[in-house]
């Protein structure tokens, strides 16, 4: 049985993740020469949009067999996107990896995106290995290690040192270097004693390093350059020196990725906890999944496999399994791993060119959403338009381009919009609901209550008087209907309705319940029309700006209603600007920023929306919406 390492590569955008994977594929003999991101020749970035833009959009998996002497080592790699718009791919990838490799770009250090990734990796509770990248541009690693160490509760242990400007690694060097070696074993007293008693100190160090890294006693730190290849072979050497991560006591498989594959159609990617072979059956949600054919991603394409060892990755043709779903070798209760639910806050309207194009458009959207958990769409019944929701401007722009690849020019795209909501701006208001029809012949009865603004975004109806269930349901139905559409198609959030009294109409008839619902809708509409504010998500940005462009960028941010939280000089002549602004104000900011900085600036932008983190949409902005 081979030893198998399942690793995920994580970092902020442009840190060199895909280049790092290319170099690993080259070092292991999977490819004859490393591909180039700029030239669009990498194994991991295969979508046209990835090749054109030079960024990863989806999490890509690859299976590598690495021959070391007479032994075959197996490596499964997931290359994750760095851009925040695609972080749902990061979340699902963490279901499958056993080791997280965090790449740090030494030329820019820890960025806000890096901080977010670090928090995700810590919550995943798996071993973390750090690789400091781009040391061909800067070899001052001491300060970056000090900076990284502030983010972790356990110690960081550098496994390298510089000797006459060339990098050496503890586990390959014959030199005895107590300052570097003792931290690798001081988590176990017995190892330290053996180190000082034994002549073969390196053997003791390798033992401690092997167990300590896999058992999270310390975080190993390596360094090198993915572009030149420096340190990558040593990283592989270290990876296979460490103990295999203890297997989770699970059976069956877990779904960590879905894709509309150009050759295989709808497929799911699984990590299997037990060995599997063609013809085996797995069980999920009272359904039987027969493994008629199983595949693996390798350099150059897919390979059909007859049998796979435990802890392998595999591809299965399937059109119903969900992300996080757990499959078992015997029938068991439904089980699903939790994946952070991220709701898209940006949308575009899609209009079919002809009525006959609508079905094709829906089919194309189904393909997109099958593989991308950050997307969803809904039909606007009043207009027939399809509304596609995503995680950000870039996410929706790329999704629209991919949609055209599926269905062609069968639709028109309206400008991107940011989610907008209404909130009740009075803390308490007494209200009486009543409606009549046929010149007062039929009445709803009088419903007395209070409207209150809530501190959260939940909407709720409370009854402090006894009412028949059927009447409560009519009141709740009217309440939900008006709040789900608001006054202008936007949801109303954070409203509490307390009903404390009810006066029956003189004549209770067949229309009374319907009139009750209408009374609630009409009364709420009347109050909300003059007692609400617009709110929306807030964008948190971090910009690295060349010195010559700082004034222009700050001026642009002021015009976009931005609040600047910090301004400091980093990485030579770059100024880091951190702050926030209404997400609505930041639409189109990324492209203008690129122009202002002549392509030399870097921008990360994260969007938040919660009861504690939102922006008010100003009067001037309301008119523009």
Strands (E), 294-337: 294-298, 301-305, 307-308, 313-317, 326-327
DSSP per position, 222-243: EE--TTT-TTHHHHHHHHHHSP
What confidence tier does 621 reach under pLDDT thresholds 50, 70, 90?
Answer: very low
Helices (H), 308-347: none
In which region does residue 571 sit, left (phi positive, over 0), alpha (psi from -120 to 50) or beta (all else)?
A: left
Structure tokens at 456: 């959260």
Q: What is the pLDDT of residues 349-369, one digit of tens each?
A: 999 999 899 999 999 999 999
CA 586/CA 541 separation, integer angstroms: 10
Identify the H or E element spanning 115: helix 112-124
CA 68/CA 219 separation, integer angstroms: 25
Do 99 and 274 meet the contact criterion of CB atoms below 8 Å apart? no
pTM of the model: 0.86
pLDDT score at 624:
36
What confidence tier does 552 reach under pLDDT thresholds 50, 70, 90?
Answer: very high
Query: Is residue 108 classed as helix, strand or coil in its secondary structure?
Result: coil
pLDDT score at 622:
41
pLDDT at 254 exceeding the cut of 90: yes
- Looking at residue 318, the DSSP 8-state letter turns out to be -
CA distances from 135 to 165, 371, 564, 581, 617 (A): 11, 36, 32, 35, 45
CA 563/CA 581 separation, integer angstroms: 6
pLDDT at 449 exceeding the cut of 50: yes
pLDDT score at 571:
67
Structure tokens at 423: 């909130």
What confidence tier does 620 reach under pLDDT thresholds 50, 70, 90?
Answer: very low
Q: What is the pLDDT of residues 500-541, one digit of tens each?
A: 999 988 776 677 788 899 999 999 988 888 888 889 999 999
Sort strands 99-105 and 4-10 into parallel, antiparallel or unpaired.
parallel
Q: What is the pLDDT of residues 216-251, one digit of tens each?
A: 999 999 999 999 999 999 999 999 999 887 666 667
Sort strands 574-582 and 492-493 into parallel, antiparallel or unpaired.
unpaired
pLDDT score at 564:
96
Please count the CA atoms within 13 angstroms of the CA of 94 that sit on its side-chain side. Answer: 23
Structure tokens at 52: 């054109």
CA 27/CA 36 separation, integer angstroms: 15
| In the block, residue with structure tokens 């067999």 | 65
DSSP per position, 242-296: SPPPPPPS--SEEEEEEEEETTTEEEEEEEESS-EETT-EEEETTEEEE-S-EEE
Identify the H or E element spanning 569: strand 563-570
For the chain, percent of residues with pLDDT exceeding 70: 95
CA 446/CA 409 separation, integer angstroms: 55
CA distances from 552 to 544, 557, 565, 593 (A): 13, 9, 17, 9
pLDDT score at 618:
57
Do 97 and 62 meet the contact criterion of CB atoms below 8 Å apart? no
Q: What is the pLDDT of residues 41-80, one digit of tens each?
A: 787 777 777 777 778 888 999 999 988 778 888 999 999 9
In which region does residue 91 sit, left (phi positive, over 0), alpha (psi from -120 to 50) or beta (all else)?
A: alpha
Q: Which residues pair with 66 in a beta bridge?
A: 73
DSSP per position, 369-432: HHH-TT-EEEE-TTT--EEEEESSHHHHHHHHHHHHHHH-S-EEEPPPEE--EEEE-SSEEEEE
CA 404/CA 408 separation, integer angstroms: 4
Specify the higher pLDDT residue, 198 or 583. Answer: 583
């Amino acid at each position: 049985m081979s030893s198998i390492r399942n690793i995920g590569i994580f970092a902020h955008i442009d840190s060199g993740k895909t280049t790092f994977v290319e170099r690993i594929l080259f070092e292991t003999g999977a490819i004859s020469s490393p591909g180039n991101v700029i030239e669009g020749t990498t194994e991991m970035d295969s979508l046209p949009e990835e090749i054109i833009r030079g960024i990863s959009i989806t999490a890509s998996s690859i299976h590598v067999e690495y021959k070391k002497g007479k032994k075959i080592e197996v490596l499964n790699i997931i290359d994750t996107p760095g851009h925040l718009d695609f972080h749902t791919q990061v979340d699902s990838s963490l279901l499958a990896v056993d080791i997280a490799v965090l790449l740090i770009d030494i030329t820019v250090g820890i960025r806000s995106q890096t901080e977010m990734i670090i928090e995700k990796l810590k919550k995943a509770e798996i071993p973390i290995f750090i690789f400091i990248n781009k040391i061909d541009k800067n070899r001052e690693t001491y300060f970056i290690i000090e900076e990284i160490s502030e983010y972790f509760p356990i110690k960081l242990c550098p496994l390298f040192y510089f000797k006459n400007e060339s990098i050496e690694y503890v586990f390959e060097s014959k030199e005895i270097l107590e300052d570097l070696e003792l931290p690798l074993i001081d988590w176990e007293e017995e190892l330290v004693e053996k180190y000082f008693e034994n002549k073969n100190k390196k053997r003791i160090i390798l033992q401690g390093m092997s167990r300590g890294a896999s058992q999270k006693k310390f975080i190993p730190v390596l360094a090198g350059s993915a572009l030149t290849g420096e340190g990558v072979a040593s990283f592989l050497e270290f990876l296979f020196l460490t103990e295999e991560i203890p297997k989770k006591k699970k059976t069956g498989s877990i779904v960590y990725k879905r894709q509309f594959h150009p050759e295989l159609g709808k497929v799911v990617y699984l990590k299997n906890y037990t060995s599997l072979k063609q013809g085996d059956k797995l069980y999920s949600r009272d359904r039987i999944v027969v493994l008629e054919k199983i595949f693996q991603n390798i350099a150059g394409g897919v390979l059909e496999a007859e049998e796979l060892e435990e802890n392998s990755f595999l591809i299965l043709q399937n059109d119903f399994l969900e992300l996080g779903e757990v499959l078992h070798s015997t029938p068991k209760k439904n089980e699903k791993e939790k994946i952070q639910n991220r709701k898209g806050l940006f949308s575009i309207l899609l209009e079919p060119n002809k009525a006959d194009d609508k079905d094709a458009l829906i089919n194309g959207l189904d393909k997109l959403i099958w593989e991308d958990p950050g997307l969803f769409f809904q039909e606007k019944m009043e207009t027939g338009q399809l509304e596609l929701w995503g995680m950000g401007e870039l996410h929706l722009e790329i999704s629209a381009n991919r949609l055209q690849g599926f269905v062609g020019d069968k639709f028109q795209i309206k400008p991107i919009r940011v989610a907008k909501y209404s909130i009740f701006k009075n803390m308490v208001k007494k209200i009486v609901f009543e409606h009549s029809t046929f010149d007062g012949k039929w009445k709803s009865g009088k419903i007395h209550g209070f409207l209150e603004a809530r501190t959260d975004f939940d909407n709720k109806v409370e009854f402090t008087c006894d009412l028949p269930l059927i009447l409560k349901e009519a009141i709740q139905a009217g309440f939900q209907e008006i709040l789900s559409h608001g006054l202008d198609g936007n949801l109303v959030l954070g409203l509490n309705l307390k009903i404390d009294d009810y006066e029956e109409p003189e004549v209770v008839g067949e229309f009374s319940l319907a009139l009750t619902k209408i009374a609630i809708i009409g009364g709420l509409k009347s109050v909300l029309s003059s007692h609400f504010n617009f709110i929306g998500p807030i964008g948190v940005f971090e910009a690295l700006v060349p010195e010559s462009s700082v004034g222009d960028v700050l001026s642009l941010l002021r015009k976009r209603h931005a609040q600047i939280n910090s301004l400091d000089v980093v990485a030579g002549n770059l100024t880091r600007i951190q702050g926030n602004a209404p997400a609505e104000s930041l639409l189109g900011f990324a492209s203008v920023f690129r122009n202002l900085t002549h392509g030399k600036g870097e921008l990360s932008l994260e969007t938040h929306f919660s009861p504690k983190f939102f922006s008010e949409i100003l009067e001037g902005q309301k008119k523009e919406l």
